[in-house]
């Protein structure tokens, strides 16, 4: 009851003065963080942080430079403005800014609270060179929606990351929170205020909140209660539209994982963004222990959106295995402002992405050909990155170049490393064991609160498996020797051959046939030194051509986006007229777009091989 009274008392004076709390020291009382989503000023939210009393003379307040799962330095402190520290008599104290993400306050014994205003990331992504990845970013749209990735709003005092938090949010009456952050116990529901609690700072950032008008579906998958909350700016999609596919997918994931320990609740926060206004453009998702934030374009068709949701959300949900359960000390004791990276992205992202594909064939959501097409897609995508870069070295140094620009390969080659390892372990164990078995064994030894030693993981995996696994890691994960995939495919009776396959008109999967001039956003050209699809050859386009207009629309990065979106609805007889610039000369090409196909690798089943190979393939794909 007393807690309720404290909260109610604070409600009336969020920005008033907290005299009287000073008797409780910082480690004895939760840090009270208040966010006001009603009184927005210049697209900013005011935050106040009210800690217990400090016994030291100096304290630093920090906002994360980076957070787990993003593997990038984003300096969330740069979105904080008008930082004020107030003493117990309400006077403004002296604050020294230390870098982008830290504020040093002297006379800390007198510190009552701090206040600041937070700007959001979604609407400035298009003017940033390296914008925050949208699923880790923030949005403030007055009266409409708020994407509260709380590391962008709430910070921590240096040395006090383990202190609990109470988070009070003042909100418009008609919008609701979806989050796995726990509600304050014993607090009556209040339409104007939410109150949440977190045991430590990590829990604050591990539980993002989406505020929007209710557009929510809930369902149970075995013993997990799943909440899907959707923000669709033009009301195109409702949560129930996706419920069936997501439910089927998560049921299949649970069946694939078997007895692996998992969460009791899971929230999917889906933010659908607009392409033609400044809005989130970093599509994808970020994992948390009990939730995921997914950002995708609202303009996508339901069919494509569903398939992307299945691929993306299943990936995030599999992160429950690693790194959320199986992870090293570097991740357990994550330093938000000076992070030490782990060597094992081959597992955190690679195994996760591999499972997100494997479970779909395993559980019959896709067929064998579709699975092989995905593998071929990964072979193709991996070619864009350095195949001789050691994965462990890359992982350890992922925040720096040249490693940072190879990060995306963790989803491509990272998954292929796991495929080869899976086949190798299947071979050595006569089909009985594989990477899923390995992850289950590791999750018995480690867990959410028990990290492994970064340097010892591979030795441990080798000890659990076969000497050949040591050679594999030494050569292809620690070492820089590319993997001969044909060799691994042959072990399961498969071979790679050349065959035609269909592509998009502007993109082959995620790889574009066109690119933008670094110096001029509005110069769009056809890429050189890559294989172009039949669409380019047949209509008369050449590598290096600059596209000026398509069907009368002048081409800029902006207008191209909507043309690419509409191109997914083209049929082979759709007519197109393109004005282009080739060596200063204006040329017009036109005609039917035809089918866009590319000659590429294809995985086929080897005929007439021994039964052993197909038995092993069956074990690999279906057991
Ligand atoms: Zn991931």
The residue ranking higher by pLDDT, 163 or 130, is 163
Instruction: Classify residue 128 as exposed, middle or buried by CB count within 10 Å of its CB (0-12, 13-18, 19+).
Output: exposed
Say if residues 150 and 120 touch (Cβ distance below 8 Å): no
pLDDT band (50, 70, 90) for residue 74: very high
Q: State the distance from the centre of ligand 1 to the C-alpha of 92, rounded, in angstroms.
A: 43
pLDDT digit string, tens, across residues 481-539: 999 999 999 999 999 999 998 888 998 876 788 888 767 777 888 988 788 999 999 99
Residue 381 has what pLDDT?
Answer: 85
pLDDT band (50, 70, 90) for residue 261: low
Question: In 3D, which of 35, 140, 34, 127 has the Cα closest to residue 558?
Answer: 127
Residue 200 has what pLDDT?
Answer: 93
Residue 5 has what pLDDT?
Answer: 20
Q: State the distance from the centre of ligand 1 to the C-alpha of 287, rounded, in angstroms.
A: 7
Say if residues 227 and 220 touch (Cβ distance below 8 Å): no
Q: Are strands 224-231 and 265-273 parallel, antiparallel or unpaired?
A: parallel
Mean pLDDT of 221-226: 90
Q: State the distance from the centre of ligand 1 to the C-alpha of 314, rounded, in angstroms.
A: 10
Compute the distance between CA of residue 546 and CA of residue 539 in angstroms, rounded to an integer.
15
Instruction: Name the 3-class secondary structure at 507.
Output: strand
Q: State the distance from the centre of ligand 1 to the C-alpha of 534, rounded, in angstroms.
A: 33
pLDDT digit string, tens, across residues 17-55: 233 333 466 677 899 999 999 999 999 999 999 999 999
533 secondary structure, DSSP code: P
Q: State the distance from the centre of ligand 1 to the C-alpha of 175, rounded, in angstroms.
A: 30
Mean pLDDT of 92-114: 95
Instruction: Classify residue 453 as exposed, middle or buried by CB count within 10 Å of its CB (0-12, 13-18, 19+).
Output: exposed
Residue 283, pLDDT > 80, answer yes
Residue 510 has what pLDDT?
Answer: 66
The structure's pTM equals 0.84
Say if residues 588 and 577 touch (Cβ distance below 8 Å): yes
Q: State the distance from the centre of ligand 1 to the C-alpha of 104, rounded, in angstroms.
A: 34
Residue 489 has what pLDDT?
Answer: 96
Q: State the distance from the centre of ligand 1 to the C-alpha of 81, rounded, in angstroms.
A: 31
Say if residues 196 and 181 touch (Cβ distance below 8 Å): yes
Give me the domains of the chain, ranges plus CATH numbers. Answer: 2-211 (2.60.40.3650), 215-299 (3.30.2010), 321-493+608-623 (1.10.390.10), 504-595 (2.30.42.10)
Q: State the distance from the centre of ligand 1 to the C-alpha of 558, rounded, in angstroms.
A: 28
Instruction: Name the 3-class secondary structure at 407.
Output: helix
Residue 12 has what pLDDT?
Answer: 26
Q: State the distance from the centre of ligand 1 to the C-alpha of 322, rounded, in angstroms.
A: 9
Q: State the distance from the centre of ligand 1 to the C-alpha of 32, rounded, in angstroms.
A: 31
Q: State the distance from the centre of ligand 1 to the C-alpha of 313, rounded, in angstroms.
A: 10
Mean pLDDT of 191-199: 93
Q: State the distance from the centre of ligand 1 to the C-alpha of 288, rounded, in angstroms.
A: 10
Say if residues 498 and 599 touch (Cβ distance below 8 Å): yes
Residue 3, pLDDT > 80, answer no
Instruction: Name the 3-class secondary structure at 265.
Output: strand
pLDDT band (50, 70, 90) for residue 454: very high
**DSSP one-letter string for 198-245:** ESSHHHHHTS-EEEES--EEEEEETTEEEEEEEE-TTS---HHHHHHH
CA dihedral of residues 614, 617, 622, 623 (deg, nearest 10) = 100
User: Residue 17 has which token pair?
Assistant: 């003065």
Q: State the distance from the centre of ligand 1 to the C-alpha of 321, rounded, in angstroms.
A: 11
Q: Where are the beta strands (DSSP E) in 213-337?
A: 216-221, 224-231, 265-273, 284-287, 291-297
Say if residues 429 and 619 touch (Cβ distance below 8 Å): no
Say if residues 168 and 174 touch (Cβ distance below 8 Å): no
User: Residue 215 has which token pair?
Assistant: 């557009």
pLDDT band (50, 70, 90) for residue 608: confident
Q: State the distance from the centre of ligand 1 to the C-alpha of 574, rounded, in angstroms.
A: 38
Mean pLDDT of 89-111: 95
Q: State the distance from the centre of ligand 1 to the C-alpha of 320, rounded, in angstroms.
A: 10
Question: In 3D, which of 196, 323, 318 has the Cα closest to residue 257?
Answer: 318
Q: State the distance from the centre of ligand 1 to the C-alpha of 179, rounded, in angstroms.
A: 20
Residue 417 has what pLDDT?
Answer: 98
Q: Which helix (H) or strand (E) holds 426?
A: helix 413-428
Compute the distance between CA of residue 558 and CA of residue 578 in angstroms, rounded to an integer.
17
Q: State the distance from the centre of ligand 1 to the C-alpha of 348, rounded, in angstroms.
A: 7
Residue 24 has what pLDDT?
Answer: 65
Instruction: Name the 3-class secondary structure at 195.
Output: strand
Q: State the distance from the centre of ligand 1 to the C-alpha of 546, rounded, in angstroms.
A: 35
Ranking 163-167, 357-361, 381-385, 449-453 by mean pLDDT, the lowest is: 381-385
Ranking 17-26, 56-65, 301-310, 591-600 by mean pLDDT, the lowest is: 17-26
Residue 441, pLDDT > 50, answer yes
Residue 268 has what pLDDT?
Answer: 96
Ranking 128-132, 399-403, 471-475 by mean pLDDT, the lowest is: 128-132
Q: State the distance from the centre of ligand 1 to the C-alpha of 88, rounded, in angstroms.
A: 44
């Amino acid at each position: 009851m007393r807690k309720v009274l404290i909260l109610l008392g604070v409600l009336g004076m969020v920005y008033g003065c907290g005299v009287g709390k000073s008797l409780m020291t910082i480690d004895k009382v939760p840090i009270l963080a208040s966010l006001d989503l009603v009184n927005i000023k210049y697209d900013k939210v005011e935050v106040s942080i009210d800690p217990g009393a400090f016994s030291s003379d100096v304290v630093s307040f920090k906002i994360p430079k980076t957070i787990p799962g993003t593997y990038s330095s984003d300096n969330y402190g740069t979105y904080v403005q008008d930082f004020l520290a107030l003493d117990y008599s309400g006077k403004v104290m002296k604050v020294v800014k230390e870098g982008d993400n830290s504020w040093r306050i002297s006379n800390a014994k007198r510190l009552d609270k701090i206040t600041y205003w937070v700007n959001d990331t979604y609407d400035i992504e298009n003017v940033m060179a390296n914008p925050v990845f949208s699923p880790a970013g923030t949005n403030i749209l007055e009266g409409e929606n708020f994407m509260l990735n709380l590391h962008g709003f709430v910070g921590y005092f240096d040395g006090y990351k383990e202190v609990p938090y109470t988070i009070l949010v003042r909100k418009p009456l008609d919008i609701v929170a979806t989050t796995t952050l726990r509600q304050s116990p014993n607090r009556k529901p209040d339409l104007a205020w939410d109150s949440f609690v977190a045991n430590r700072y990590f829990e604050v950032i591990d539980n993002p909140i989406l505020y929007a008008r209710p557009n929510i579906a809930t369902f149970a998958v075995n013993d997990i209660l799943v909440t899907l909350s959707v923000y669709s700016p033009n009301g195109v999609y409702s949560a129930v539209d996706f419920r069936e596919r997501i439910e089927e997918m998560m049921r299949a994931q649970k069946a694939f994982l078997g007895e692996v320990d998992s969460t009791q609740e899971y929230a999917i926060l889906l933010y659908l963004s607009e392409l033609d206004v400044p809005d989130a453009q970093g599509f994808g998702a970020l994992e948390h222990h009990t939730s995921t934030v997914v950002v995708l374009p609202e303009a996508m068709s339901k069919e494509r959106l569903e398939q992307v949701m299945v691929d993306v959300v299943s990936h995030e949900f599999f992160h429950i295995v690693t790194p959320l359960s199986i992870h090293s000390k570097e991740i357990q004791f994550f330093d938000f402002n000076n992070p030490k990276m782990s060597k094992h992205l081959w597992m955190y992202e690679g195994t996760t992405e591999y499972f997100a594909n494997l479970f779909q064939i395993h559980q019959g959501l896709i067929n064998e050909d579709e699975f092989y097409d995905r593998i071929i897609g990964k072979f193709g995508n991996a070619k864009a990155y350095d195949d001789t870069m050691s994965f462990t070295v890359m992982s350890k140094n992922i925040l720096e170049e040249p490693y940072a620009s190879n990060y995306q390969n963790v989803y491509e080659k990272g998954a292929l490393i796991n495929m080869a390892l899976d086949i190798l372990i299947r071979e050595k164990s006569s089909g009985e064991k594989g990477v899923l078995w390995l992850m289950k064994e590791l999750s018995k030894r480690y867990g959410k609160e028990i990290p492994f030693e970064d340097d010892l993981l591979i030795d441990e995996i080798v000890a659990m498996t076969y000497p050949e696994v040591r050679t594999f890691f030494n050569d292809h994960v620690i070492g820089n020797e590319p993997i001969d995939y044909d060799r691994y495919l042959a072990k399961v009776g498969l071979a790679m051959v050349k065959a035609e396959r269909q592509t998009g008109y502007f993109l082959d999967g995620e790889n574009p046939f066109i690119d933008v001039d670094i110096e001029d956003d509005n110069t769009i050209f056809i890429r050189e030194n890559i294989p172009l699809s039949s669409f380019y050859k047949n209509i008369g386009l050449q590598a290096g051509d600059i596209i000026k207009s398509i069907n009368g629309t002048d081409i800029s990065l902006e207008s191209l986006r909507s043309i690419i979106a509409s191109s997914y609805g083209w049929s082979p007889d759709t007519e197109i007229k393109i004005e282009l610039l080739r060596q200063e000369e204006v040329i017009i090409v036109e005609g039917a777009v035809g089918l866009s196909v590319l000659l590429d690798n294809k995985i086929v089943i080897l005929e007439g091989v021994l039964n052993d190979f197909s038995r092993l393939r069956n074990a690999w794909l279906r057991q």
